Structure formats: C-alpha cells, structure tokens
Amino acid sequence: MKPLIVLITDWTYKEGAIMSMKGVMKTIDPTLDITDGTHEIPQYDIWSASYRLHQAMRFWPKGTVFITVVDPGVGTARKGVAALTRDGYIIICPDNGTLTHLAKDQGIVQVRHLHPHLRLPSTVGTSIFHGRDIFGYVGALYASGQLTFEQLGESFDPNEIVKLPPLEYGVKDGVIFGHLEIDDPNFGNVWSNIPVQLLYDAGFTHADDLHVTIRHKDDIVFDYRLPFRASFGSVGVGAPVGYVNELMVLAFAVCQGSFAKTYHIRYGHEWKVHISR
C-alpha cells in the first residue's frame, strides 16, 4: 500500500494554490490518497503549524506523509527537509521551526536536506511557491514509490533542525506554572502546556476550584477562581471552566461561549499562567 498524504498549510481555499499543488501530485501519480488536514493555519504562524502536527499526527496510520507548508521564508536560505519520526511518520516541510513539537514529543530519528535538483522541472526560475514546486512534488515522488527516503537528500543530525524557543512549565513554591500554547479558534477555548498530571499530583480533583492567574508580559489580564471539571457542560452556560483537553493538558473554556473573546486572551511566549488553590 502507498502511504497516505496529509496537507497542512496557511493558504486557505480562496485561490488556486491548493488546487495547483494537488494537480502536480496527481500528475505524478493519480492514485495517491491526499487528505486536506487543514489549510487554515494563521498566516505565517509556524508555531501553530508545529502544534497541529503534534496534535493530530498520532491518530493517523504509521507511515503517513505530512506535507506541512507554513513558509514565510520561502525563497530564502532556509532549507527544505524530510524527517522520519520514531513512530514511523514522514514530514516534508521547510526547516523553519515546523518540527519543533515533534522533535520534543514524538522524537525525530532521521532528517535529510532535500536535494536541490528535486523540484518540478517546469517551474525553474520562480522561488515563491515551494509548496507546489518542491514539497508537494517531492512528497508525491516519495509516496508513489519513485524515490526512497534515503534518495530525498543528504542526512544530518536531527539535533540541528531549526526549533522555536520552548515554552516551559513546572511547579515552584507550590504554584503550577506554564504558558498558553494554542487556541481552538472555532470555539474560543485556550490550551495551556501544563500536563494535567501536575494538577493530579498536587491533589486537585474534578470537584475542586482553581485560582488561575494569566499574565500577558507583566500585566495580569485574568485573575479568577474557576471550577476544574472534566468537560465544558459541567458548568452553566456562559461560565468559565478549566478542563482536561484531548492532549491531556489543562485548557480553559466558557460553556457555549468563547474564553478567548470573553477575556481577551491569546497564546504564545508572552502569555503565562499560574495555578494555585
């Protein structure tokens, strides 16, 4: 069986980029099974691309090829890579931080710089659409069996891939701390990077309340006591709640509302959260 292919980009469906990329891939092999993972990554947001890979990859069959293109540095000195995870997944992407979460959590055992000659021949001379001309093209050659992983490029040390700065979490002086790492843009939930096991280890149960303090840089933007529950529906409509999300980390929601919009919360390195009793 040929491996499945999953596409992740920030292109949206508003113009012909996705259609052109799939056309190139289907020309190489019309039988390829190509799935749109998401094309709604926020523009240029490499961090979100990295997180969405980490979030969804484990639920796909081993050997699936993820072509991930959020590439604000297209046409510059950044390189294209093919990576192999410990669990047997393949990622083809720019080496710009897209592999950050996988390198930390799933483990990358091999990585190769894509050979410069591997690109759609009819597009030599343009440098602005590597998603179509390099990553999609190379991914299709690999998935169709025309190239092996070893033939994609020269190997290098996985420790040398480009990584975005990590978000730390832990416990200090009885306070659990971490960052807000990503959001759920459709429902307005906000996910931290704090494993819920830290709460359980500290004695919290789903019958307890949390004292939650959220800071943006040095400014406190949220300082409330709210219930820690298994799900959103455990509180009344419009009420905030801390809950266990699908990746077993602490997250925040407003029942049938938006935590992000209600409290003007975002995510990233400047957004820190403290949990206490």
Q: Which tokens belong to 258?
A: 């938006």
* pTM for the whole structure: 0.94
- pLDDT tens, position by position, 47-64: 999 999 999 999 999 999
Q: Would the CA dihedral through 24, 116, 144, 81 be positive or negative?
A: negative
Q: Give the mean pLDDT of 2-29.
A: 97
* Model pLDDT, residue 74: 96
Cα 72 from Cα 8, distance rounded (Å):
14
Instruction: Answer yes or no: is pLDDT of 115 > 90.
Output: yes
Single-letter amino acid code for the residue at 232: F
What confidence tier does 105 reach under pLDDT thresholds 50, 70, 90? confident
Q: Which tokens belong to 60?
A: 């796909």
Instruction: Answer yes or no: is pLDDT of 163 > 90.
Output: yes
What confidence tier does 106 reach under pLDDT thresholds 50, 70, 90? confident
Cα 79 from Cα 154, distance rounded (Å):
12
- pLDDT tens, position by position, 179-231: 999 999 999 999 999 999 999 999 999 999 999 999 999 999 999 999 999 99
Q: Which domains does the chain have, with CATH numbers?
A: 5-160 (3.40.50.10790), 170-276 (2.40.30.90)
Instruction: Answer yes or no: is pLDDT of 165 > 90.
Output: yes
Instruction: Answer yes or no: is pLDDT of 169 > 90.
Output: yes
Neighbour tally for 176: CB within 10 Å: 22
Instruction: Answer yes or no: is pLDDT of 41 > 90.
Output: yes
Backbone angles phi, psi at 167, to 5 degrees: -105, 120
Instruction: Answer yes or no: is pLDDT of 39 > 90.
Output: yes
Instruction: Answer yes or no: is pLDDT of 9 > 90.
Output: yes
Q: Which tokens belong to 78?
A: 């950044």
* Model pLDDT, residue 35: 98
- Residues facing residue 180 across a β-bridge: 192
Neighbour tally for 218: CB within 10 Å: 7
- pLDDT tens, position by position, 216-272: 999 999 999 999 999 998 999 999 999 999 999 999 999 999 999 999 999 999 999
- pLDDT tens, position by position, 53-95: 999 999 999 999 999 999 999 999 999 999 999 999 999 999 9
